[in-house]
A and B are shown apart, each in its own frame.
Chain A
Amino acid sequence: MKAAKFFLRKMIVHQNQNSEPKTHNCELFEMEQPLTKNIAQGKTLSLKDYEQVGGYSALRKILKSNSPQEVQQIVKDSGLKGRGGAGFSTGLKWSLVPMDDKAVHPKYLICNADEMEPGTFKDRLLLEGNPHQLIEGMILAAYAINADISYVFLRWAYRKAAEIIEQSISEAHAAGYLGKNILGSGWSLEMYLHTGVGRYICGEETALLNALEGKRATPRAKPPFPTVSGLYGKPTIVNNVETLSCLPHIINNGADWFKKLSISEDSGTKLYGVSGKVKRPGIWELPLGTTMREIIEDYAGGMVNGYRLKGALPGGASTDFLTEQHLDIKMDYKDVAAAGSRLGTGTIVVMDDKTCPVGFVHNLQHFFAQESCGWCTPCREGLPWVEKILLGLEKGKGSMEDMELLHMHTQYLGPGNTYCALAPGAMEPLQSALKYFKDDFIQHIEKHKCPYEG
C-alpha cells in the first residue's frame, strides 16, 4: 500500500436520454492515499515511525492554536461524513454535544470498532496497520467535544488488533498524548480498550452503549440522542474507525484539501473493498466517487473466468443490490442512494451468475434473524419467518403466496416500523432481490427445485 502518487484516469461518460455513452473525456487526476500510505502489508506502524511521518503533529497543533469549537468547524467545513455506514455529517453530529459551562461531565468519545457487517473488512486494516492514526484521531475528536474519557469498542474476533490497540494506548500514554494535562494543555483524556463478546447489534450506536454499560445490547429509543444522553446518560459521541482515522489528516492539511481528494460532492478518500468471485478480492483507498466498475474491474481484476456479475451489494450485507446496469455509478453517498441503494461501508459483495440469488438472500436473512436482539416484534418475529420462507423456496417447497409474504415483510420491517435499523437493513437486499431477480424466485416455485443446483 506504500504509494507514491497514483494517477487515476477519470472517465467522464456523458449520457444522452437513451443512456447511451456519448463522449469520453480522460483527465489525469493525482490520487492521494492518506489513510493507507503508511500501512505496509502485515506490519503495524510503531509510535516512533508514526511520529516520523507527521504523527501527532495535528494534536500538537490544535492544543496550541485551536479551541474545540474551531476544530469542530474545520471538520464541518471538510464535509467528512461518517464511514460506519450511515454517512451522517461528522461535524454536525459533534455540534449537537452540549459545550457550555453547564454541560454535564464526564463526556465520552467512543470509537466503534465492532466491524461485523458481512462483507466488510476495512476497519481491520486501519486497526492493525496504523493504530496511532486512529488514536490520534480519537484524541482530536475528544478534544473537539471536550470529552474526558474515551473507549475503543472492538469486536472480540479481532484478536490481533486487540493486542495492538492495547499496546498502542500504553505507548500513547507513555508519550504524553493521553492522561492528565496532555502536552501541558490543561486538558486530560483517558482511553480504554473494551473488547466485545459477540453479536452484530453491538455495532449499532445505542446498543453499543448498553453493551459498554454491562447490559444486553438492545438499542435505545432516540431521542434522547447519545450526543446529549449517551454512555451512563452523559454526552457521548460514537464514531467509526475510518472516520476517526481521517481526522489527523484533515487537521494537518485543511478542510479544502480534504474536499479535493475526492471526485465527488462528498469529500475525502474511501476504503473500498471487493469480495466474492473476482480475480483479486481486496481493499483499496480511492477517491470518494470512484465508479463501481473501476473498483470491480480495474482494482479487483474483474470476475473470475467463467463467471459473470449478476448482482452486487455496494456496501455490505444491509445494502440494496445493484446490477450490471449500475456499474458506472459513482460510489459516493449521493449517487448510490439515487440508484436505489446505499454506500454503507463501501465494501462490495459480488454475487456471480452461478450463485443462486435465493440461497444468497437466505444466507443474509439467516444472519439478520440470528442477530436480532429480540426487542421489537417486527424484527424478532419477521426475520426468522422470512428466513424460513426463503429456505422453503430454496428447497423447492415454495408457492406464489410466499412472494406475497416476502413483499409484505419488506414493508412491515421497513424504516420507521422497527426499533432500530437492523430489520430495515435486512430488507434492503431482500426487496432488491425481489425486484431484480424475480425470475429466479419464480423458477424455484414453478420447477419445485433450485435451478442452480447440480
Chain B
Amino acid sequence: MIGEKKHNAHAEAMEIRPTNMENKAQLTEIEMRAIDHEISLVPYKKAAVIEALKIVQKQRRWISDQSVEAIANYLEMSAAEVDSVATFYNLIFRKPVGKHVILLCDSISCYVMGYGKIYQALQNRLDIQFGQTTKDNLFTLLPNACLGCCDHAPALMIDEDLYEDVKDEQLDKILESYK
C-alpha cells in the first residue's frame, strides 16, 4: 500500500541519527530510499530536490557542499542548481548548526509585545547573537518570520517545539530542558 510504504520510508528518514556522514558526497541507503519515494510522486527527478534537501538535512543536521554534490548526482542536476535552491530557503542550513536551533520570531506583533527583551535575555544567557552557535555547540540562535501565534506574542520555536507568551523568567527552564 502506497500510504504504508511512504510512512515507513518517511519515518526512517525523519529519525535523527548522529552520524559523521555530513561530509560524505554519497547518499546513504536510508536517504536514497526516502528520496526515491519522493521522486515517485513527481513528473521528473529534479522536482524532488527540496524534499531531498529536507531528508538529507534531517539525517545530517545541515547541508554541506558534499551533501549538495551527493543530491546533485542522485537527481541528475548540477551542484550549482541544487545550491541555488538550498540557499533560497532559510530553513535549509548551508552552515553547521548546533544540536538545537532556536527560532525567535522578530515580526511585527512580537515586536510590539517585546521580542527585543527576549532576544536580549537569550544573548545574555547564551553569549551569542542571531546567526551564531554557542561554544558548546548546543544552541544556534536565528530570527524567523512570523510564527503565526500573534495573540500569544512573543513566541519562539526550539527545533519543532513552539513556545508562546514567552517571558524572561521562563527561559532558564526552557533552555535547561534541551541540555
Contact = CB atoms under 8 A, between A and B. Distances in A.
A156 B91 contact: yes
A357 B106 CA distance: 16
Interface string A345-386: 001011110010001100110110011010000000000000
B49 A157 contact: no
A374 to B, nearest CB: 9
Contacts of B162: 157, 159-160
Contacts of B46: 214
A355 B146 contact: no
Chain A CB within 10 Å, residue with most, of B53, B88, B152: B88
B157 interface: yes
Contact of A277 (B90, B103, B113, B160): B113
Interface band, chain A: 35 or more
B88 A216 contact: yes
Contacts of A283: 151
B19 interface: no
Given A200-B145, A214-B50, A232-B43, A349 B90 contact: no
Contacts of B90: 197-199
A166 to B, nearest CB: 9
A282 B152 CA distance: 8
Contacts of A157: 103, 144, 147-148, 157, 162
Contacts of B41: 192
Contacts of A215: 85
A208 to B, nearest CB: 12
A120 B91 contact: no
Contacts of B53: 197
A197 B150 contact: no
B113 A276 contact: yes
Contacts of A349: 108-109, 112, 150
Contacts of A281: 150-153
A119 B54 contact: no
Contacts of B150: 118-121, 273, 275, 281, 347, 349
Contact of A273 (B48, B88, B151, B160): B151
A343 interface: no
A197 B54 contact: yes
A182 to B, nearest CB: 16
A198 B91 contact: yes
Contacts of A155: 148
A213 interface: yes
Nearest to B42: A214
Contacts of A197: 50, 53-54, 89-92
Contacts of A347: 150
Contacts of B18: none
Contact of B146 (A118, A213, A273, A350): A118
A97 interface: no
Interface in A195-211: 195-200, 211
A450 interface: no
Interface in B109-150: 109, 111-113, 144-150
Contacts of B106: 363, 366-367
Interface in B70-98: 84-85, 88-92
B91 A274 contact: no
B50 A117 contact: no
Main secondary structure of the interface of B (DSSP, over half): mixed
A293 interface: no
Given A156-B91, A216-B85, A349-B108, A367 B145 contact: yes
A317 interface: yes
Contact of B112 (A116, A173, A200, A352): A352
Interface in A151-166: 155-160
Chain A CB within 10 Å, residue with most, of B90, B144, B146: B146
Interface string B25-51: 000000000000000011100111111
Given A232-B43, A351-B112, A367 B149 contact: no
Contact of B89 (A198, A276, A355): A198
Interface in A247-262: none
A158 B91 CA distance: 13
B132 to A, nearest CB: 18
A387 B108 CA distance: 14
Contacts of B23: none
Chain A CB within 10 Å, residue with most, of B111, B147, B150, B153: B150
B148 A115 contact: yes
Contacts of A350: 112
Chain A CB within 10 Å, residue with most, of B106, B151, B152, B162: B151
Contact of B84 (A170, A216, A317): A216
A118 B109 contact: yes
A367 B160 CA distance: 22
Contacts of A158: 148
A364 B144 CA distance: 13
A124 interface: yes
Contacts of B66: none
B137 to A, nearest CB: 23
A277 B148 contact: no
Given A159-B162, A274-B151, A275-B109, A116 B85 contact: no
A283 to B, nearest CB: 6
A360 B111 contact: yes
18 contacts: A118-B145, A119-B108, A119-B146, A120-B148, A155-B148, A160-B162, A170-B3, A173-B3, A197-B50, A198-B91, A216-B84, A275-B112, A281-B150, A355-B112, A360-B111, A360-B112, A367-B107, A371-B145
> 3 closest Cβ contacts across the A-B interface?
A281-B151, A275-B150, A118-B107
Given A214-B51, A232-B43, A367-B107, 6 more contacts: A118-B146, A200-B145, A275-B109, A281-B152, A366-B106, A367-B145
